[in-house]
Structure 1
Amino acid sequence: MDKMYIKDLELFGYHGVFEEEKRLGQKFIISLELDLDLKFAARTGDLTKSVHYGELCEKVENEFLKESYDLIETAALNLADFILNEYKIINGVKVFLKKPWAPVKKHLDTVEIMIERKRHKAYIGLGSNIGNKEKNLNDAIHKISEQKNIIITKKSTFIVTEPWGYLDQEEFVNGVVEIETTLEPEELMDLLLKIELELKRERLIKWGPRTIDLDILMYDDLISNDEKIILPHPRMHEREFVLKPLNEIAPYLLHPILNKRVFTLLEEIQK
């Protein structure tokens, strides 16, 4: 991936834990590392295929001064999210934020942090078998789409499926959405759990009835055995109600462990 660097943009801001920092202000120094494809701009001379760095610096300054934060970590994270939301051509950003006059009782040159954010592609499985099932799925999709760090890029049709695991319950309605997000897997999982609670999800019986079920099926090609989130979803390749809608929107998606395309996994369980 090509890079663009903006180094040592000096700004006077009002961020800090102490009241004097917020009242008097101090100098901050910002550097940016941008991931983007520059070949189209290089070959055509078309600035719209690149980032106007003068314009970007103006926008960064305005955003940096818009609010006052206790922590420079918050200020840097806000800038990273702002840049990715403002410039869809940028695939990832590192924000380096220096605080030359850090108020500590030690001799030091500067304090600097780095925050990195990237665009990721993830697939979320949805299911419901209580109440108005299609409405539950649509409500969940709407709540996901409202998040500033998520864009829904594809949505499958809904399918009616038989229950899996615990059979003494109503049929399910299932679907899958493809999203682009700057959230990390744990952040995305926390968000989905929050949406489940808002839609009255209760966990009474394993694989039992539920108003809504939201699962991260895949996140880029990440393989994770974290207790909070296992990726890819450990049983997605066994479930037709997952593979069928996923195949509709991403048939050539490659399972990073099984090394098989979604359409192949679907064919195997339908034999």
Structure 2
Amino acid sequence: MNPFKQTVALKDVKCFALHGFYPEEQLTGNHFIVDLETTFLPIGFDDELAQTVNYEDLNQIILEEMRNTQKLLETVLNNIINKVIALYPFVERVEVSIKKLNPPMPGQVGQSFVQLSYQTEK
């Protein structure tokens, strides 16, 4: 049995995007911060990129989905997770969150936060 668990993650990926339920949000856009974390059993330690999750791929997935305007952040999170799983089927756990900075609502709200997790049944 492999005693190791490996985590590959990106934290604080800053994006400007047009996500939002209200039409004006999709016109004016907002600033977002995305965190994406993957956990899996390491395939090996032979200093080969093919044996791990490439965080450049994770960044590309985030940027693609942030460009794909959605009403709900939950949809964006689900799309990110599905792409990670499709690219890296050996991943056991994926956790992704999005913070919308200064969401347009009354009062002084620093950020809204939505998180979604996926875990295999191993």
TM-score normalised to the size of structure 1?
A: 0.41
Is the contact made by 2:99 and 2:114 (CA closer than 8 Å) also made in structure 1? yes
1:80 match: 81
Deviations 1:100-153 (A, max 9, x none): 121110212211111001233xxxxxxxxxxxxxxxxxxxxxxxxxxxxxxxxx
Q: Secondary structure at the match of 1:70?
A: coil
Q: Secondary structure at the match of 1:12?
A: strand
**In structure 2, do the counterparts of structure 1 residues 39 and 82 end up closer, same or farther at CA, with 3 Å as the change threshold?**
closer
Deviating beyond 4 angstroms after TM superposition, the runs of 4 or more aligned structure 1 residues are none
Structure 1 segment 86-97 matched on structure 2, within 5 A: 86-97=87-98
Q: Secondary structure at the match of 2:109?
A: coil
Structure 1 segment 216-231 matched on structure 2, within 5 A: none
How far apart, CA to CA, are the structure 1 residues paired with 2:80 and 2:109? 25
Structure 1 segment 114-153 matched on structure 2, within 5 A: 114-120=115-121
Is the contact made by 1:84 and 1:92 (CA closer than 8 Å) also made in structure 2? no
Deviations 1:58-80 (A, max 9, x none): 232113313x2111112112211
In structure 2, stretches of 5+ residues that fail to align are none
1:5 match: 9
Deviations 1:134-176 (A, max 9, x none): xxxxxxxxxxxxxxxxxxxxxxxxxxxxxxxxxxxxxxxxxxx
1:16 match: 20
CA-CA distance at 1:39 after TM superposition: 5.9
Paired AA for residue 75 in structure 2:
T
Aligned-pair identity in percent equals: 23
Structure 1 segment 1-271 matched on structure 2, within 5 A: 1-38=5-42, 40=44, 43-66=45-68, 68-120=69-121
Is the contact made by 1:81 and 1:117 (CA closer than 8 Å) also made in structure 2? no
Count the aligned residue pairs. 118
Alpha-carbon RMSD: 1.6
CA-CA distance at 1:99 after TM superposition: 0.4
How far apart, CA to CA, are the structure 2 residues paired with 1:59 and 1:5? 13
Deviations 1:201-237 (A, max 9, x none): xxxxxxxxxxxxxxxxxxx6xxxxxxxxxxxxxxxxx
Structure with greater strand share of residues: 2
CA-CA distance at 1:97 after TM superposition: 0.7
